Structure 1
């Protein structure tokens, strides 16, 4: 598997950049969406994201089991690591350490069955004030640890700032 990580703040252009990169690499990429429908706002966001992708895309959804689809195409955009970790964190009863173990296990399952190029999108969430709650601080710690884990595996890492890509690795 060739891994590319695209990270940055919310609304920094991560998804658009990853999608354009995928379309430059493949005529028929897959989009593996990880969001759960938490509320009406999330349902609207999901619908908006889906409608923005045309018939070139193979649309897949999986909130926790990234390896479930066994996609055979050339390129997968995995959007997004942050929402996927949120789902696992919730399922692990907000236990940071248990979630990190589970996330690494599920990531290893994906990398074991995927021969494609994976463009993984995830937020940079640790650049602001410390979270007010213990649960929030634990999620920031979890997220940072996991992003470091996959960035170490990645062949390329891109940081998006105001819609502009900065090559990190």
Structure 2
């Protein structure tokens, strides 16, 4: 497993995979192995009993010494705040953040309208650009580990909001992966550095 040792510039690591693939556990293990101070940016909100149980399990698994910032929407500001508290930041997760963001938009019920869909694409990606800008502006040696889902490997969603969600998350993952130093794909609890494989791929 790669470590998160300090480097000359801020570092971005992406951890993605399917449900129950071990994404959060892997990201947390990277943070622990770094031996540095850790801040955890949690995007989930306790909207129902199942989510409350999930949040409680995640909280119980984390070190009591970690700082936790609960922020369902404003990622760039959360990263800036977390960087004042720790050197390794975990953002868990982009999947939940996108759900929060889409449902915070006044026009989300009009997803059948192509113009409205385009506005959602642009708005969400603008938020991601702001997040990446905040990472680039961090002090040297800071690391952000972003956890996200790969949701594009199944069937095409039957409803418009599901299709827009899938497509936007795919674009978000691509945008973050493009500027990440490491991109780990989780399969059955095992992390494969697909960016390193990509860089060494030959025909």
How high is the TM-score relative to the length of structure 1?
0.92
Q: How does 1:8-157 map to 2 (within 5 A)?
A: 8-69=17-78, 70-71=81-82, 72=84, 73-92=86-105, 93-94=107-108, 95=117, 96-115=120-139, 116-157=142-183
Q: Displacement, 1:38?
A: 2.1
Equivalent-residue separation in structure 2 for 1:145 and 1:98 (angstroms): 11
How high is the TM-score relative to the length of structure 2?
0.77
**Structure 2: unaligned runs, 5 residues or longer:** 1-9, 109-116, 196-203
Equivalent-residue separation in structure 1 for 2:163 and 2:192 (angstroms): 27
Deviates more, 1:91-100 or 1:156-165: 91-100
Q: Using a 3 Å threshold, how does the CA distance of structure 1 residues 42 and 99 change in structure 2: closer, same or farther?
A: farther
**Structure 1: unaligned runs, 5 residues or longer:** none
Residue 113 of structure 2 corresponds to which residue in structure 1?
none
Note the aligned Cα RMSD (angstroms): 1.6
Q: How many residues align?
A: 169
